[in-house]
């Protein structure tokens, strides 16, 4: 029967389109998941590196203060160099 054959072919085409759409959705969801995981990993690495850098800066500042205890101007200048902040003592 010709009509039955046309319906069967139509159903097969719809099934192919539906499967392609489902795969596209799954691919998009996977890409979004990978993106979110990458962003989280980068943020965590940034925080870890920042904490490590802060710890190094603290140690360097302690060293500067102990080495220049009698020279507040030198302490101020070197701390400013390390931190990048303009420090003014009045």
- Residues 45-65 have pLDDT tens digits of 888 877 777 888 888 888 998
| Residue 88 located in a structural domain | no
| Residue 89 located in a structural domain | no
Q: Indicate whether 18 pLDDT > 60.
A: yes
| Residue 63 located in a structural domain | yes
- Residue 89 has what pLDDT? 61
- Which residues, at least 6 apart from 80, have a Cβ–Cβ distance to it below 8 Å? 86, 87
- Global model pTM greater than 0.85: no
- Residue 3 has what pLDDT? 95
Handedness of CA 30, 36, 39, 42 (dihedral sign): negative
| Residue 57 located in a structural domain | yes
Nearest to 58 by CA among 81, 79, 74, 86: 79
Residue numbers of the domain that contains 9? 2-83
| Residue 90 located in a structural domain | no
- Assign 35 a pLDDT band (cuts: 50, 70, 90): confident
């Amino acid at each position: 029967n010709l009509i039955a054959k046309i319906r069967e072919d139509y159903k097969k085409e719809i099934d192919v389109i539906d499967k392609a759409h489902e795969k596209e959705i799954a691919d998009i969801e996977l890409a979004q998941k990978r993106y979110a995981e990458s962003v989280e990993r980068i943020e965590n690495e940034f925080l870890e590196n920042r904490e490590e850098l802060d710890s190094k800066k603290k140690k360097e500042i302690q060293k500067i203060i102990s080495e220049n205890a009698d020279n507040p101007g030198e302490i101020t200048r070197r701390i400013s160099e390390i931190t990048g902040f303009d420090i003014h003592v009045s």
